[in-house]
Chains A and B, each alone.
Chain A
Amino acid sequence: MSKSVGFFSRPFTLFVLGLLCMGFILLSFLFWTLNVTPDNYFSYVNDPNAAITCNVNHVSVTSDDLENGSWMNKVITKSNNCSVFLTEIQIKELSNALVNNFPDKKDLIQLGLITLLTEQTLQMVKGNLEVYNPYKIKGILDWLSTLNVAAKLDPDNEIIYLSVNDYWFNFISGKLTEYQKINPDIRYYFKFRYLAQHCNQALYFVNVEETKYEKVKKNLLANHWVHLIQASWSDAKIWQRSVFLFVFLFTMFTYLFTIISFVNKTTLK
Protein backbone atom coordinates (compact mmCIF):
# COMPACT_ATOMS: atom_id res chain seq x y z
CA MET A 1 0.00 0.00 0.00
CA SER A 2 2.72 2.34 1.03
CA LYS A 3 4.64 1.42 -2.19
CA SER A 4 1.64 2.24 -4.34
CA VAL A 5 1.11 5.58 -2.61
CA GLY A 6 4.82 6.23 -3.05
CA PHE A 7 4.64 5.52 -6.77
CA PHE A 8 1.70 7.85 -7.38
CA SER A 9 3.19 10.55 -5.21
CA ARG A 10 6.47 10.59 -7.16
CA PRO A 11 6.95 13.64 -9.37
CA PHE A 12 7.53 11.67 -12.63
CA THR A 13 4.36 9.57 -12.28
CA LEU A 14 2.17 12.09 -14.01
CA PHE A 15 4.75 12.44 -16.76
CA VAL A 16 4.84 8.63 -17.33
CA LEU A 17 1.05 8.40 -17.35
CA GLY A 18 0.90 11.32 -19.74
CA LEU A 19 3.37 9.60 -22.05
CA LEU A 20 1.31 6.40 -21.99
CA CYS A 21 -1.87 8.33 -22.78
CA MET A 22 -0.13 10.17 -25.62
CA GLY A 23 1.16 6.86 -27.00
CA PHE A 24 -2.32 5.35 -26.88
CA ILE A 25 -3.86 8.40 -28.57
CA LEU A 26 -1.13 8.46 -31.25
CA LEU A 27 -1.55 4.73 -31.96
CA SER A 28 -5.33 5.11 -32.29
CA PHE A 29 -4.78 8.09 -34.59
CA LEU A 30 -2.34 6.06 -36.69
CA PHE A 31 -4.82 3.18 -37.06
CA TRP A 32 -7.56 5.62 -37.95
CA THR A 33 -5.61 7.59 -40.57
CA LEU A 34 -3.81 4.68 -42.21
CA ASN A 35 -6.76 2.30 -41.95
CA VAL A 36 -4.47 -0.60 -41.08
CA THR A 37 -6.57 -2.40 -38.48
CA PRO A 38 -6.10 -6.15 -38.90
CA ASP A 39 -9.23 -7.70 -40.34
CA ASN A 40 -10.34 -10.27 -42.81
CA TYR A 41 -11.36 -7.73 -45.41
CA PHE A 42 -12.39 -10.02 -48.18
CA SER A 43 -14.42 -12.56 -46.27
CA TYR A 44 -17.63 -11.39 -47.99
CA VAL A 45 -16.42 -11.95 -51.52
CA ASN A 46 -18.48 -14.58 -53.29
CA ASP A 47 -16.65 -17.64 -54.44
CA PRO A 48 -16.11 -17.16 -58.20
CA ASN A 49 -16.36 -20.92 -58.67
CA ALA A 50 -20.03 -20.72 -57.69
CA ALA A 51 -20.82 -20.14 -61.34
CA ILE A 52 -19.61 -23.62 -62.12
CA THR A 53 -23.10 -25.00 -61.51
CA CYS A 54 -24.61 -22.84 -64.28
CA ASN A 55 -24.63 -24.40 -67.70
CA VAL A 56 -23.54 -22.45 -70.73
CA ASN A 57 -25.93 -22.90 -73.59
CA HIS A 58 -24.14 -23.58 -76.88
CA VAL A 59 -26.53 -26.01 -78.56
CA SER A 60 -28.48 -23.46 -80.58
CA VAL A 61 -25.48 -21.61 -82.05
CA THR A 62 -25.49 -21.62 -85.84
CA SER A 63 -22.82 -20.78 -88.39
CA ASP A 64 -24.57 -17.47 -89.13
CA ASP A 65 -24.53 -16.60 -85.41
CA LEU A 66 -20.79 -17.09 -85.41
CA GLU A 67 -20.34 -14.85 -88.45
CA ASN A 68 -22.43 -11.96 -87.18
CA GLY A 69 -21.42 -12.27 -83.49
CA SER A 70 -24.98 -12.76 -82.20
CA TRP A 71 -24.03 -16.12 -80.62
CA MET A 72 -22.60 -14.34 -77.61
CA ASN A 73 -26.05 -13.33 -76.37
CA LYS A 74 -27.24 -16.90 -76.75
CA VAL A 75 -24.56 -18.62 -74.70
CA ILE A 76 -24.65 -16.45 -71.59
CA THR A 77 -27.15 -17.62 -69.02
CA LYS A 78 -29.06 -14.64 -67.71
CA SER A 79 -30.07 -16.34 -64.45
CA ASN A 80 -29.42 -14.24 -61.36
CA ASN A 81 -27.65 -17.11 -59.62
CA CYS A 82 -24.93 -17.28 -62.24
CA SER A 83 -21.79 -15.17 -62.31
CA VAL A 84 -21.20 -13.16 -65.48
CA PHE A 85 -17.59 -14.28 -65.28
CA LEU A 86 -17.40 -17.65 -67.01
CA THR A 87 -15.18 -20.16 -65.25
CA GLU A 88 -12.21 -21.79 -66.97
CA ILE A 89 -14.20 -25.02 -67.20
CA GLN A 90 -17.11 -23.24 -68.89
CA ILE A 91 -14.73 -21.49 -71.29
CA LYS A 92 -13.02 -24.74 -72.20
CA GLU A 93 -16.35 -26.53 -72.61
CA LEU A 94 -17.74 -23.75 -74.80
CA SER A 95 -14.62 -23.46 -76.90
CA ASN A 96 -14.37 -27.23 -77.48
CA ALA A 97 -18.06 -27.56 -78.34
CA LEU A 98 -17.96 -24.69 -80.83
CA VAL A 99 -14.68 -25.83 -82.43
CA ASN A 100 -16.06 -29.40 -82.76
CA ASN A 101 -19.18 -28.05 -84.47
CA PHE A 102 -17.37 -25.53 -86.67
CA PRO A 103 -13.77 -26.82 -87.07
CA ASP A 104 -12.97 -24.42 -89.93
CA LYS A 105 -13.85 -21.35 -87.84
CA LYS A 106 -11.43 -21.73 -84.95
CA ASP A 107 -9.99 -18.20 -85.29
CA LEU A 108 -13.44 -16.65 -85.39
CA ILE A 109 -14.49 -18.63 -82.33
CA GLN A 110 -11.39 -17.57 -80.39
CA LEU A 111 -11.92 -13.94 -81.36
CA GLY A 112 -15.59 -14.16 -80.37
CA LEU A 113 -14.78 -15.79 -77.04
CA ILE A 114 -12.23 -13.09 -76.23
CA THR A 115 -14.78 -10.37 -77.07
CA LEU A 116 -17.37 -12.17 -74.95
CA LEU A 117 -15.06 -12.47 -71.95
CA THR A 118 -13.69 -8.92 -72.20
CA GLU A 119 -15.81 -6.15 -73.73
CA GLN A 120 -19.19 -7.93 -73.42
CA THR A 121 -18.55 -8.97 -69.81
CA LEU A 122 -17.32 -5.46 -68.97
CA GLN A 123 -20.59 -3.99 -70.24
CA MET A 124 -22.43 -6.17 -67.73
CA VAL A 125 -20.33 -5.21 -64.70
CA LYS A 126 -19.43 -1.63 -65.63
CA GLY A 127 -22.08 -0.12 -63.37
CA ASN A 128 -20.63 -1.89 -60.31
CA LEU A 129 -17.20 -0.41 -60.96
CA GLU A 130 -18.17 3.24 -61.40
CA VAL A 131 -17.16 3.91 -57.80
CA TYR A 132 -14.35 2.28 -55.82
CA ASN A 133 -15.54 -1.08 -54.57
CA PRO A 134 -12.63 -3.27 -53.43
CA TYR A 135 -14.77 -6.38 -53.03
CA LYS A 136 -15.90 -6.36 -56.67
CA ILE A 137 -12.33 -5.83 -57.85
CA LYS A 138 -11.05 -8.60 -55.60
CA GLY A 139 -13.69 -10.90 -57.13
CA ILE A 140 -12.39 -10.15 -60.65
CA LEU A 141 -8.77 -10.66 -59.57
CA ASP A 142 -9.70 -14.06 -58.11
CA TRP A 143 -11.36 -14.98 -61.39
CA LEU A 144 -8.24 -13.92 -63.29
CA SER A 145 -5.97 -16.04 -61.14
CA THR A 146 -7.98 -19.13 -62.15
CA LEU A 147 -7.65 -18.18 -65.83
CA ASN A 148 -3.92 -17.67 -65.41
CA VAL A 149 -3.57 -21.27 -64.22
CA ALA A 150 -5.86 -22.46 -67.02
CA ALA A 151 -3.58 -20.82 -69.62
CA LYS A 152 -0.82 -23.21 -68.59
CA LEU A 153 -3.07 -26.27 -68.57
CA ASP A 154 -4.97 -25.62 -71.81
CA PRO A 155 -2.40 -24.68 -74.50
CA ASP A 156 -5.03 -24.85 -77.29
CA ASN A 157 -6.86 -21.90 -75.80
CA GLU A 158 -3.82 -20.14 -74.30
CA ILE A 159 -4.34 -17.00 -76.42
CA ILE A 160 -7.88 -16.66 -75.02
CA TYR A 161 -6.76 -16.84 -71.40
CA LEU A 162 -3.77 -14.55 -71.97
CA SER A 163 -5.85 -11.92 -73.78
CA VAL A 164 -8.62 -11.97 -71.17
CA ASN A 165 -6.09 -11.78 -68.35
CA ASP A 166 -4.30 -8.86 -70.02
CA TYR A 167 -7.53 -6.97 -70.75
CA TRP A 168 -8.86 -7.17 -67.21
CA PHE A 169 -5.57 -6.46 -65.47
CA ASN A 170 -5.09 -3.42 -67.72
CA PHE A 171 -8.64 -2.30 -66.97
CA ILE A 172 -8.35 -2.79 -63.19
CA SER A 173 -4.97 -1.07 -63.03
CA GLY A 174 -6.44 1.90 -64.93
CA LYS A 175 -9.50 1.96 -62.66
CA LEU A 176 -7.39 1.93 -59.49
CA THR A 177 -5.33 4.81 -60.90
CA GLU A 178 -8.59 6.67 -61.60
CA TYR A 179 -10.07 6.01 -58.13
CA GLN A 180 -6.99 7.35 -56.31
CA LYS A 181 -6.99 10.46 -58.48
CA ILE A 182 -10.55 11.17 -57.37
CA ASN A 183 -9.84 10.37 -53.72
CA PRO A 184 -6.08 10.42 -52.96
CA ASP A 185 -6.71 9.19 -49.38
CA ILE A 186 -7.55 5.65 -50.54
CA ARG A 187 -3.95 5.03 -51.57
CA TYR A 188 -3.14 4.56 -47.85
CA TYR A 189 -5.97 2.09 -47.25
CA PHE A 190 -4.98 -1.49 -46.78
CA LYS A 191 -7.55 -2.77 -49.28
CA PHE A 192 -6.37 -0.43 -52.01
CA ARG A 193 -2.73 -1.26 -51.38
CA TYR A 194 -3.52 -4.97 -51.50
CA LEU A 195 -5.28 -4.63 -54.86
CA ALA A 196 -2.56 -2.34 -56.28
CA GLN A 197 0.13 -4.77 -55.16
CA HIS A 198 -1.74 -7.59 -56.91
CA CYS A 199 -1.70 -5.59 -60.17
CA ASN A 200 1.94 -4.55 -59.69
CA GLN A 201 3.01 -8.16 -59.27
CA ALA A 202 1.39 -8.98 -62.60
CA LEU A 203 3.39 -6.02 -64.10
CA TYR A 204 0.34 -3.78 -64.48
CA PHE A 205 1.54 -0.91 -62.34
CA VAL A 206 -1.05 1.32 -60.74
CA ASN A 207 0.11 4.87 -61.36
CA VAL A 208 0.01 6.33 -57.87
CA GLU A 209 0.81 10.00 -58.37
CA GLU A 210 2.32 12.18 -55.70
CA THR A 211 0.18 15.02 -54.43
CA LYS A 212 1.79 18.47 -54.11
CA TYR A 213 1.91 18.03 -50.34
CA GLU A 214 3.72 14.69 -50.72
CA LYS A 215 6.20 16.23 -53.16
CA VAL A 216 7.03 19.03 -50.71
CA LYS A 217 7.40 16.53 -47.84
CA LYS A 218 9.69 14.30 -49.93
CA ASN A 219 11.93 17.21 -50.96
CA LEU A 220 12.08 18.50 -47.38
CA LEU A 221 13.16 15.10 -46.09
CA ALA A 222 15.74 14.75 -48.88
CA ASN A 223 17.10 18.28 -48.24
CA HIS A 224 16.44 19.30 -51.85
CA TRP A 225 16.08 22.95 -50.87
CA VAL A 226 17.16 24.45 -54.16
CA HIS A 227 14.66 22.37 -56.13
CA LEU A 228 11.94 23.14 -53.60
CA ILE A 229 12.51 26.90 -53.84
CA GLN A 230 12.78 26.81 -57.64
CA ALA A 231 9.62 24.71 -58.03
CA SER A 232 7.63 26.81 -55.54
CA TRP A 233 8.74 30.04 -57.23
CA SER A 234 7.84 28.84 -60.72
CA ASP A 235 4.44 27.50 -59.57
CA ALA A 236 3.55 30.65 -57.61
CA LYS A 237 1.16 33.24 -59.04
CA ILE A 238 2.13 36.91 -59.31
CA TRP A 239 0.25 37.95 -56.14
CA GLN A 240 1.89 35.07 -54.21
CA ARG A 241 5.32 36.19 -55.41
CA SER A 242 4.50 39.78 -54.44
CA VAL A 243 3.39 38.73 -50.94
CA PHE A 244 6.53 36.64 -50.54
CA LEU A 245 8.77 39.50 -51.67
CA PHE A 246 6.97 41.93 -49.35
CA VAL A 247 7.34 39.61 -46.32
CA PHE A 248 10.96 38.87 -47.23
CA LEU A 249 11.87 42.56 -47.63
CA PHE A 250 9.96 43.51 -44.48
CA THR A 251 11.84 40.84 -42.46
CA MET A 252 15.17 41.98 -43.90
CA PHE A 253 14.32 45.60 -43.13
CA THR A 254 13.42 44.82 -39.50
CA TYR A 255 16.64 42.81 -39.08
CA LEU A 256 18.61 45.64 -40.61
CA PHE A 257 16.84 48.19 -38.42
CA THR A 258 17.56 46.11 -35.28
CA ILE A 259 21.23 45.69 -36.20
CA ILE A 260 21.66 49.40 -36.99
CA SER A 261 20.01 50.49 -33.73
CA PHE A 262 22.11 47.93 -31.80
CA VAL A 263 25.31 49.22 -33.44
CA ASN A 264 24.31 52.83 -32.71
CA LYS A 265 23.65 52.03 -29.06
CA THR A 266 26.99 50.24 -28.60
CA THR A 267 28.83 53.07 -30.42
CA LEU A 268 27.23 55.62 -28.09
CA LYS A 269 28.40 53.68 -25.04
Chain B
Amino acid sequence: MKCIGLIFAFLMLCSFNLTAQYSENYVSVSSEIIDNEIYSVIEMTRKDERVKVKYFADKDLAGRSVYQRYLTWSKNKSIIASCSGTYYGMDNKPVGICIDEGQTVNKAEAAMDALVLVYRTGGIVVTDLKEGNLTVQNGAENLALNLKNPIDRTKFFLWSKENYATVFQTHLLYYKNKLRVGANGDKELRERRFLAVARDDEDKIRYYLINLKGNNTLYNATVKVEGYLKNYTDNIIYIINLDTGAQDYFEVREAKGQLMNEAGFKGNKPLNVSKNLLVFYFE
Protein backbone atom coordinates (compact mmCIF):
# COMPACT_ATOMS: atom_id res chain seq x y z
CA MET B 1 0.00 0.00 0.00
CA LYS B 2 2.85 2.35 0.98
CA CYS B 3 4.59 1.50 -2.28
CA ILE B 4 1.50 2.43 -4.32
CA GLY B 5 1.27 5.71 -2.40
CA LEU B 6 4.90 6.52 -3.13
CA ILE B 7 4.49 5.74 -6.85
CA PHE B 8 1.39 7.92 -6.96
CA ALA B 9 3.20 10.81 -5.26
CA PHE B 10 6.15 10.42 -7.65
CA LEU B 11 3.83 10.47 -10.68
CA MET B 12 2.07 13.58 -9.36
CA LEU B 13 5.42 15.31 -8.94
CA CYS B 14 6.48 14.32 -12.47
CA SER B 15 3.21 15.51 -14.01
CA PHE B 16 3.53 18.86 -12.20
CA ASN B 17 7.00 19.36 -13.59
CA LEU B 18 5.87 18.32 -17.07
CA THR B 19 2.96 20.77 -17.24
CA ALA B 20 4.76 23.77 -15.78
CA GLN B 21 7.88 24.16 -17.86
CA TYR B 22 9.26 26.35 -20.59
CA SER B 23 12.47 26.09 -22.55
CA GLU B 24 15.27 28.47 -21.57
CA ASN B 25 16.27 28.57 -25.25
CA TYR B 26 13.24 30.74 -25.84
CA VAL B 27 12.87 32.62 -22.58
CA SER B 28 15.46 34.20 -20.31
CA VAL B 29 14.77 35.89 -17.00
CA SER B 30 17.42 38.19 -15.55
CA SER B 31 18.08 41.07 -13.20
CA GLU B 32 20.69 43.76 -13.85
CA ILE B 33 21.74 46.77 -11.80
CA ILE B 34 22.64 49.81 -13.90
CA ASP B 35 23.21 53.18 -12.20
CA ASN B 36 21.55 51.96 -8.98
CA GLU B 37 18.44 50.94 -10.94
CA ILE B 38 17.33 47.31 -10.94
CA TYR B 39 16.18 46.16 -14.38
CA SER B 40 14.09 42.99 -14.04
CA VAL B 41 13.81 41.64 -17.57
CA ILE B 42 11.98 38.72 -19.18
CA GLU B 43 13.21 38.27 -22.72
CA MET B 44 11.19 36.02 -25.02
CA THR B 45 11.81 35.13 -28.65
CA ARG B 46 9.01 34.52 -31.13
CA LYS B 47 11.25 32.09 -33.05
CA ASP B 48 9.13 29.01 -33.94
CA GLU B 49 6.16 30.91 -32.48
CA ARG B 50 6.30 28.96 -29.21
CA VAL B 51 6.00 31.99 -26.95
CA LYS B 52 2.45 33.31 -27.10
CA VAL B 53 0.32 36.03 -25.55
CA LYS B 54 -3.22 36.00 -24.21
CA TYR B 55 -5.20 38.90 -22.79
CA PHE B 56 -8.15 38.82 -20.39
CA ALA B 57 -9.95 42.15 -20.30
CA ASP B 58 -13.18 41.55 -18.45
CA LYS B 59 -15.62 39.04 -17.01
CA ASP B 60 -17.01 36.63 -19.58
CA LEU B 61 -20.68 36.32 -20.52
CA ALA B 62 -21.18 33.73 -17.78
CA GLY B 63 -19.97 36.29 -15.22
CA ARG B 64 -16.69 34.54 -14.36
CA SER B 65 -14.02 36.97 -13.16
CA VAL B 66 -10.76 37.56 -15.00
CA TYR B 67 -8.88 35.42 -12.49
CA GLN B 68 -11.38 32.55 -12.72
CA ARG B 69 -11.09 32.64 -16.50
CA TYR B 70 -7.31 32.70 -16.22
CA LEU B 71 -7.29 29.70 -13.85
CA THR B 72 -9.52 27.62 -16.15
CA TRP B 73 -7.56 28.59 -19.24
CA SER B 74 -4.10 28.11 -17.71
CA LYS B 75 -4.60 24.43 -16.87
CA ASN B 76 -2.01 22.47 -18.89
CA LYS B 77 -0.36 25.73 -19.99
CA SER B 78 3.23 26.71 -19.25
CA ILE B 79 2.93 30.23 -17.96
CA ILE B 80 5.96 32.50 -18.25
CA ALA B 81 4.60 35.74 -16.84
CA SER B 82 1.27 37.40 -16.06
CA CYS B 83 0.77 41.10 -15.54
CA SER B 84 -1.77 43.86 -15.77
CA GLY B 85 -2.29 45.49 -19.16
CA THR B 86 -4.26 48.66 -19.46
CA TYR B 87 -5.60 51.17 -16.91
CA TYR B 88 -9.01 50.92 -15.28
CA GLY B 89 -11.33 53.77 -14.36
CA MET B 90 -13.35 54.34 -11.19
CA ASP B 91 -16.22 52.27 -12.57
CA ASN B 92 -13.93 49.23 -12.93
CA LYS B 93 -13.95 49.40 -16.71
CA PRO B 94 -10.88 49.63 -18.93
CA VAL B 95 -9.83 53.03 -20.19
CA GLY B 96 -9.94 53.25 -23.99
CA ILE B 97 -11.10 50.83 -26.66
CA CYS B 98 -11.24 47.33 -25.23
CA ILE B 99 -12.56 44.12 -26.77
CA ASP B 100 -12.25 40.67 -25.21
CA GLU B 101 -12.51 37.80 -27.72
CA GLY B 102 -15.00 39.73 -29.85
CA GLN B 103 -17.04 40.90 -26.88
CA THR B 104 -16.96 44.70 -26.70
CA VAL B 105 -16.04 46.01 -23.25
CA ASN B 106 -15.48 49.68 -24.07
CA LYS B 107 -15.86 51.51 -27.38
CA ALA B 108 -14.79 54.95 -26.17
CA GLU B 109 -11.39 55.93 -27.50
CA ALA B 110 -9.03 57.38 -24.91
CA ALA B 111 -6.24 59.88 -25.54
CA MET B 112 -3.61 57.15 -25.86
CA ASP B 113 -1.92 56.26 -29.12
CA ALA B 114 -1.26 52.54 -28.84
CA LEU B 115 -3.95 50.11 -29.97
CA VAL B 116 -2.82 46.61 -29.02
CA LEU B 117 -4.24 43.62 -30.92
CA VAL B 118 -3.76 40.20 -29.39
CA TYR B 119 -4.36 37.52 -31.99
CA ARG B 120 -5.89 34.13 -31.24
CA THR B 121 -2.70 32.62 -32.62
CA GLY B 122 -0.75 34.21 -29.73
CA GLY B 123 0.84 37.13 -31.59
CA ILE B 124 0.65 40.70 -30.39
CA VAL B 125 0.62 43.74 -32.67
CA VAL B 126 0.64 47.43 -31.82
CA THR B 127 -0.59 50.16 -34.11
CA ASP B 128 -0.34 53.92 -33.74
CA LEU B 129 -3.86 55.36 -33.74
CA LYS B 130 -2.52 58.74 -34.89
CA GLU B 131 -1.11 57.21 -38.07
CA GLY B 132 -4.47 55.60 -38.86
CA ASN B 133 -3.05 52.69 -40.82
CA LEU B 134 -4.34 49.62 -39.03
CA THR B 135 -4.34 46.51 -41.23
CA VAL B 136 -6.29 43.46 -40.12
CA GLN B 137 -6.74 40.05 -41.69
CA ASN B 138 -10.32 39.66 -42.92
CA GLY B 139 -10.64 36.16 -44.31
CA ALA B 140 -8.31 35.89 -47.28
CA GLU B 141 -7.78 39.60 -47.71
CA ASN B 142 -6.35 42.45 -45.66
CA LEU B 143 -8.59 45.23 -44.43
CA ALA B 144 -6.93 48.66 -44.11
CA LEU B 145 -8.63 50.86 -41.52
CA ASN B 146 -8.23 54.35 -40.17
CA LEU B 147 -9.92 54.44 -36.79
CA LYS B 148 -10.26 58.22 -36.95
CA ASN B 149 -12.77 57.67 -39.76
CA PRO B 150 -16.35 56.93 -38.52
CA ILE B 151 -17.14 54.29 -41.15
CA ASP B 152 -13.81 52.50 -40.54
CA ARG B 153 -14.45 52.47 -36.79
CA THR B 154 -17.80 50.74 -37.38
CA LYS B 155 -16.13 48.26 -39.74
CA PHE B 156 -13.45 47.60 -37.10
CA PHE B 157 -15.98 46.79 -34.36
CA LEU B 158 -17.90 44.52 -36.77
CA TRP B 159 -14.62 42.82 -37.75
CA SER B 160 -13.55 42.32 -34.13
CA LYS B 161 -16.88 40.65 -33.32
CA GLU B 162 -16.71 38.32 -36.30
CA ASN B 163 -13.06 37.42 -35.68
CA TYR B 164 -13.15 37.14 -31.86
CA ALA B 165 -10.45 39.79 -31.66
CA THR B 166 -8.89 40.96 -28.41
CA VAL B 167 -7.91 44.61 -28.30
CA PHE B 168 -6.87 47.18 -25.72
CA GLN B 169 -5.49 50.72 -25.68
CA THR B 170 -2.51 52.05 -23.77
CA HIS B 171 0.26 54.66 -23.93
CA LEU B 172 2.65 54.37 -26.83
CA LEU B 173 6.03 55.41 -25.43
CA TYR B 174 8.36 54.56 -28.29
CA TYR B 175 7.47 53.81 -31.90
CA LYS B 176 9.47 53.53 -35.11
CA ASN B 177 12.75 54.72 -33.56
CA LYS B 178 11.17 57.75 -31.91
CA LEU B 179 10.35 58.57 -28.30
CA ARG B 180 6.64 59.33 -28.04
CA VAL B 181 6.55 60.57 -24.47
CA GLY B 182 7.61 64.08 -23.50
CA ALA B 183 9.77 65.15 -20.55
CA ASN B 184 6.99 67.57 -19.55
CA GLY B 185 4.43 64.76 -19.17
CA ASP B 186 3.23 62.97 -16.05
CA LYS B 187 5.59 63.79 -13.14
CA GLU B 188 4.39 61.01 -10.86
CA LEU B 189 7.23 58.93 -9.48
CA ARG B 190 6.48 55.23 -9.28
CA GLU B 191 7.47 51.71 -10.25
CA ARG B 192 7.23 51.25 -14.05
CA ARG B 193 6.60 48.26 -16.30
CA PHE B 194 6.88 48.10 -20.07
CA LEU B 195 6.38 45.72 -22.94
CA ALA B 196 8.97 46.30 -25.64
CA VAL B 197 9.11 44.50 -28.97
CA ALA B 198 12.25 44.45 -31.09
CA ARG B 199 13.88 42.53 -33.92
CA ASP B 200 17.05 40.56 -33.22
CA ASP B 201 20.05 39.89 -35.49
CA GLU B 202 18.22 36.98 -37.14
CA ASP B 203 15.28 39.34 -37.87
CA LYS B 204 13.10 37.47 -35.39
CA ILE B 205 10.68 39.25 -33.08
CA ARG B 206 11.62 39.44 -29.39
CA TYR B 207 9.36 40.46 -26.54
CA TYR B 208 10.87 42.22 -23.52
CA LEU B 209 8.87 42.58 -20.34
CA ILE B 210 10.84 45.10 -18.27
CA ASN B 211 10.10 46.10 -14.69
CA LEU B 212 11.80 49.02 -12.95
CA LYS B 213 11.15 48.73 -9.23
CA GLY B 214 12.60 52.17 -8.42
CA ASN B 215 10.55 55.36 -8.57
CA ASN B 216 10.64 56.96 -12.02
CA THR B 217 8.54 59.34 -14.08
CA LEU B 218 7.12 57.81 -17.26
CA TYR B 219 9.61 59.77 -19.37
CA ASN B 220 12.68 58.88 -17.31
CA ALA B 221 11.77 55.21 -17.20
CA THR B 222 11.19 55.11 -20.99
CA VAL B 223 14.56 56.76 -21.66
CA LYS B 224 16.25 54.26 -19.34
CA VAL B 225 14.57 51.28 -20.99
CA GLU B 226 15.35 52.59 -24.48
CA GLY B 227 19.01 52.92 -23.48
CA TYR B 228 19.00 49.44 -21.97
CA LEU B 229 17.46 47.83 -25.07
CA LYS B 230 19.85 49.60 -27.44
CA ASN B 231 22.68 47.60 -25.85
CA TYR B 232 21.09 44.50 -27.36
CA THR B 233 19.29 45.61 -30.53
CA ASP B 234 19.18 48.51 -32.98
CA ASN B 235 15.67 47.75 -34.06
CA ILE B 236 13.15 48.55 -31.34
CA ILE B 237 9.70 48.40 -32.89
CA TYR B 238 7.69 49.77 -29.99
CA ILE B 239 7.52 50.21 -26.23
CA ILE B 240 4.13 50.37 -24.52
CA ASN B 241 3.23 51.08 -20.92
CA LEU B 242 1.67 48.49 -18.62
CA ASP B 243 -0.26 49.69 -15.58
CA THR B 244 1.54 49.59 -12.24
CA GLY B 245 -0.85 51.90 -10.41
CA ALA B 246 -4.16 50.52 -9.22
CA GLN B 247 -3.55 47.37 -11.32
CA ASP B 248 -0.15 46.27 -10.13
CA TYR B 249 -0.47 42.55 -10.82
CA PHE B 250 2.75 40.84 -11.81
CA GLU B 251 3.91 37.24 -11.50
CA VAL B 252 6.86 35.56 -13.17
CA ARG B 253 7.64 31.86 -13.22
CA GLU B 254 11.00 30.16 -13.44
CA ALA B 255 11.67 27.61 -16.17
CA LYS B 256 10.52 24.81 -13.86
CA GLY B 257 7.30 26.56 -13.00
CA GLN B 258 8.00 27.99 -9.53
CA LEU B 259 6.91 31.54 -8.83
CA MET B 260 9.79 34.00 -8.55
CA ASN B 261 10.04 35.79 -5.22
CA GLU B 262 12.46 38.59 -6.13
CA ALA B 263 10.93 42.03 -5.63
CA GLY B 264 11.50 43.01 -9.28
CA PHE B 265 9.40 40.07 -10.49
CA LYS B 266 6.40 40.65 -8.26
CA GLY B 267 3.55 43.13 -8.27
CA ASN B 268 2.05 44.78 -5.19
CA LYS B 269 -1.31 43.09 -5.63
CA PRO B 270 -2.23 39.40 -5.83
CA LEU B 271 -3.42 37.97 -9.14
CA ASN B 272 -6.70 36.74 -7.68
CA VAL B 273 -8.13 40.28 -7.59
CA SER B 274 -6.92 41.19 -11.08
CA LYS B 275 -9.26 43.12 -13.35
CA ASN B 276 -7.24 42.43 -16.50
CA LEU B 277 -4.33 40.17 -17.30
CA LEU B 278 -1.76 40.00 -20.05
CA VAL B 279 -0.33 36.49 -20.01
CA PHE B 280 2.81 35.23 -21.74
CA TYR B 281 2.90 31.45 -22.12
CA PHE B 282 4.90 28.72 -23.80
CA GLU B 283 3.56 26.01 -26.10
Q: Which residues of chain B are within 8 angstroms of A110 by Cβ–Cβ distance?
A: 151
What number of A residues sit within 8 Å (CB to CB) of B? 33
- Chain A residues with CB under 8 Å of B190's CB are 231, 234
B81-92 vs A, CB cutoff 8 Å, 1 = contact: the mask equals 000000001110
A203 in contact with B105 (CB, 8 Å): yes
Tell which of B91, B153, B188, B189 touches A208, judged by Cβ atoms closer than 8 Å. B91
Q: Does B109 contact A (CB under 8 A)?
A: yes
Contact status A173-B108, CB under 8 Å: yes
Chain B contact-residue range equals 20 to 34
Asked whether B120 is an interface residue with its Cβ less than 8 Å from the other chain, the reply is no
**Assuming the A-B contacts A174-B109, A207-B110, A208-B91, are A166 and B268 also in contact, with contact meaning beta carbons closer than 8 angstroms in the complex?**
no
- CB of B107 within 8 Å of the partner chain: yes
**Would you call A167 and B150 a contact (CB within 8 A)?**
yes
A204 close to chain B: CB less than 8 A: yes
Interface residue A50 (Cβ < 8 Å from any Cβ of B): no
> Which has the most chain B C-beta neighbours within 10 Å: A111, A174, A203, A231?
A203
Q: Is A72 an interface residue (CB 8 A)?
A: no
| Interchain CB contact under 8 A, B151 and A205 | no
Which of the 9-residue segments A4-12, A22-30, A88-96, A156-164 touches chain B?
A156-164
Interface hits, B85-139 → A, CB 8 Å: 89-91, 93-95, 104-111
Residue of B nearest to A168 (CB): B150
Which residues of A pack against B, CB within 8 Å?
Answer: 110-111, 114-115, 118-119, 159, 162-164, 166-167, 169-170, 173-174, 177, 199-200, 202-210, 214, 227, 231, 234-235
Measured CB to CB, the residues of B under 8 A from A are: 89-91, 93-95, 104-111, 150-151, 153-154, 157, 188-190, 215, 268
Cross-chain pairs A/B with CB under 8 angstroms, 13 sampled: A111-B151, A115-B150, A163-B153, A166-B107, A166-B153, A169-B108, A170-B153, A174-B108, A174-B109, A202-B107, A208-B89, A208-B91, A231-B190
